[in-house]
Structure 1
């Protein structure tokens, strides 16, 4: 049964994609989109830490699921399921087949990375989660969408190349023929080019996770993409970067110095996301910078765990990311619901949104509070603890700023009502982000319901709430930083450095065509196979 679920997790979306090519089956496939992630959910519930399924014994191509990956797989599957229901109500009927043609392979890759047990499989699913998402970003075919898609694709290919190089180095210094992750990683500690390999892995995974300065694709892609696509891009797809950092930087083989560097990068990212996010006016852009900030906190937790040799860090970081998958995905769906919610229906959006917003700051009795408690061993003491508390205050400020922008986007018509296909996924995900952390982390309640613990969790939220009052009073004086921030001066500098700027513009233009991206994927995958299997 475990082997069947492991295989069905990425396979069912691909089978539906194949069925979509049959004109007589398209309507049925579109109606069944929400079923495609269910094997992943079942797999997360019953197959965690089970026996791996060996696909090809000679080099140990396998499917496997450990506990941290199971946490993220379960949350990502729920988000994909809810967002797939939302697609049917949000995307125009005539455009749904075209949207699904990109949606399904992206889903397969997004879920597949959590069950891949070898380098080739992980790389393939990682690329599958990345490249077809271009079609989701450019779905509306507006000039902004095309520009965002070109930038997204350029950075994605750079990240894939960095990851490919890191994987090739891992394989080159692994004795024997096995490409199983469990067999490759032990050799990392003594690999001659260990630091170079880790550097490439951090670039590849850090780009996907949105770590500064590799984060620029998030605030460009999210506002351009349709609402359900933004939800999965921020909620599920960036977690491919997080699961990569967790799985390929093992505590026993990664030098403490790399952990310290990752922690510094994580905290810089956390505060950068807040600082730029509060200048934004578009609620989706605010959420994108919030994702940047939150992934910075996860990276800081992983880094501190590596530096301190904390064995529980992978599970703790995955649990923190689990809350983000559900809550952030839900809030992106809420933006679409708000646009068609008037009168009393507005409170079906604003009420849960405020609770989720406060949860990102660690408000007691929310899912975000439990998430922050989960990484207390990594971020609870000393300088890291102080920075973590300040980032929680910043998250509260940023997310309350988001609720203000969300309220500004509510429907003017008091009689406007969202359809059930939009309202139910939003409320279901909002409820899941509150309830599932408590179910997935039942031991968290021990020792955190004391007055001292509650006060410690509450004061960053109060500071953030006070800060938002100041933002409300003087926020109009804060200049709006263009979404993508550092990419704009970088583009101007490159444009001035002809012919390099011309070459970059040419490359971006070529990448706007999907065949070029498909060729890039083919070349990268072929190179990986030749390097690893031809030894």
Structure 2
């Protein structure tokens, strides 16, 4: 997405692509105010992300976009990680948009989905472009509200609960993030609100540790790190197929671009990096352990996202601990591959559900290739992503756990393929609509081809070394072991415990009765305390204590 391309030599004196990348989805969102236009907008879903893709391809060819004046302005720009993630996210939004337009055909309740889709797209593009603290936070809020609305468009009684949970945890995470951003702004010299200036000043900030803690907690929640990961399976399981595809692929990567932009990788901070890495590796294994107990393909993919986002957090944590500036690009590359594969696999779930067994294998084979790529299958984008991340894991315990994670991911993906093959249409001769099939196969092809293209354009390491026999074998044997374990566990499938989707969230939900009782108790105490006589006595006691404190000090 970045590098020497033919059109990259063109230098615009006035930004063109950045305004179009953000402005086209926003304009379509505003058009939703007119019912006659709103009904026609699904036909433009696939076109709306095209300017964002062009902006990613020509990253660095035009100046930053600044909106506002000397007193207040918003800045939009593209660095290398942002351009990479924006480009692959735009590819997913294009094909998922075409899928969504076909999925909406004939549905009477289209309006809510249309509005939320365009709102989510606007926020998704915006977070990759935002170069200042205020713009990033505002667009992240737009993204969260839109995504929660997409979850609400799901069918069944759980959609409302899932949407409320998603929005509630998103707001909680953004409260931590807002506090961290305020401390970032306070420590930035000359009152600059640019992210680059704030991060450069962070190592010398008197509130450095508190700022980092707030940022890691807030963004970790959005990334689905333990123990507040349970929103992922609940939300992805309830969302419609095209919504789950963009949420698991593009939306969750807002937390990754924020982590690589806000964390100071130039300074070695093991006190924050190592705990983040440990929590991430724990999540990588935990997601697999719960995922293999699920029977619905969407839920298996959701727990795979918990696992993969945990591994990404581990890479970022290890890079932060070592103070390695190359972490941002490697983490963004790994995230880009996950974005493509996970978006594609959710589309595959929708296609297979409409496909009969007579026509199943042409749909399953591409799914098998890219699914096993998540475990590091040689010659796939997953193998390249694992190779780019391996140096950050070192050679000790973290590296060993990373290898175990590859084995576990393969096990989970074999389980997913087995569940996917069992979730076909009732009619053996059924075929999915051709538009949906084309969208799925195009995303599968992109999942394989684009990581190779990125490797050729970006300084991610020596590609010949990644293709050496030793590197290929190092990528292959964990996949073979994971597949062998999956075959061995197949006979024990019925003996595995059936853990409900949301695992810890469900357990916490059972405490709802205690929380409600405690709330009623506090309400009773509050009502009693606000009585005139009680309040007067309390005020008198406080006054006497205050007077005694003053006398004692004198």
TM-score by length of 1: 0.91
Change (3 A) 1:440 1:489: same
Given candidates 20, 24, 31, the residue that maps to 1:8 is 20
Q: CA RMSD in A?
A: 1.8
Change (3 A) 1:41 1:501: farther
In the alignment, what sits opposite 1:46?
Answer: 58
Q: Distance in 1 between matches of 2:443 and 2:262?
A: 30
Paired positions, count:
504
Residues 40, 74 of structure 1: 8 Å contact kept? yes
In the alignment, what sits opposite 1:488?
Answer: 506
Residues 495, 501 of structure 1: 8 Å contact kept? no
Matches for 1:286-297 after TM superposition, within 5 Å: 286-297=300-311
Residues 495, 502 of structure 1: 8 Å contact kept? no
Moved over 3 A (4+): 48-51, 497-504
Q: Distance in 1 between matches of 2:213 and 2:378?
A: 37
Residues 277, 286 of structure 1: 8 Å contact kept? yes
1:23 is the counterpart of 2:35? yes
Cα shift at 1:153 = 1.4
Matches for 1:444-523 after TM superposition, within 5 Å: 444-500=462-518
Cα shift at 1:209 = 1.0
* 2:491 aligned counterpart, secondary structure: helix
In the alignment, what sits opposite 2:421?
Answer: 407
Residues 268, 323 of structure 2: 8 Å contact kept? no
Cα shift at 1:92 = 4.3
Cα shift at 1:141 = 5.2
In the alignment, what sits opposite 1:157?
Answer: 171
In the alignment, what sits opposite 1:70?
Answer: 83
In the alignment, what sits opposite 1:527?
Answer: none
Given candidates 229, 232, 237, the residue that maps to 2:246 is 232
In the alignment, what sits opposite 1:379?
Answer: 393
Q: Distance in 1 between matches of 2:404 and 2:155?
A: 40
In the alignment, what sits opposite 1:85?
Answer: 98
Q: Distance in 1 between matches of 2:280 and 2:87?
A: 25
Q: Distance in 2 between matches of 1:503 and 1:347?
A: 59
Q: Distance in 2 between matches of 1:8 and 1:68?
A: 20
Cα shift at 1:28 = 3.2
1:124 is the counterpart of 2:138? yes
Cα shift at 1:381 = 2.5
Cα shift at 1:60 = 5.2
Matches for 1:52-451 after TM superposition, within 5 Å: 52-58=64-70, 59=72, 61-93=74-106, 94-140=108-154, 142-253=156-267, 255-379=269-393, 381-442=395-456, 444-451=462-469
Q: Distance in 2 between matches of 1:255 and 1:52?
A: 31
Greater Cα offset, 434-443 or 283-292: 434-443
Q: Distance in 1 between matches of 2:166 and 2:34?
A: 30
TM-score by length of 2: 0.88
Q: Distance in 1 between matches of 2:373 and 2:60?
A: 27
Residues 380, 388 of structure 1: 8 Å contact kept? no
Cα shift at 1:449 = 2.2
Q: Distance in 1 between matches of 2:61 and 2:192?
A: 20
Q: Distance in 1 between matches of 2:423 and 2:331?
A: 33
- Structure 2 unmatched ranges of 5 or more: 1-11, 523-554
Task: Tell which has more relative contact order, 1 or 2 (C-alpha 8 A, sep 6+).
Answer: 1
* 1:405-425: CA deviation from partner (whole Å, max 9, x where unpaired): 100101231221111221111
Change (3 A) 1:60 1:140: closer
Change (3 A) 1:444 1:371: farther
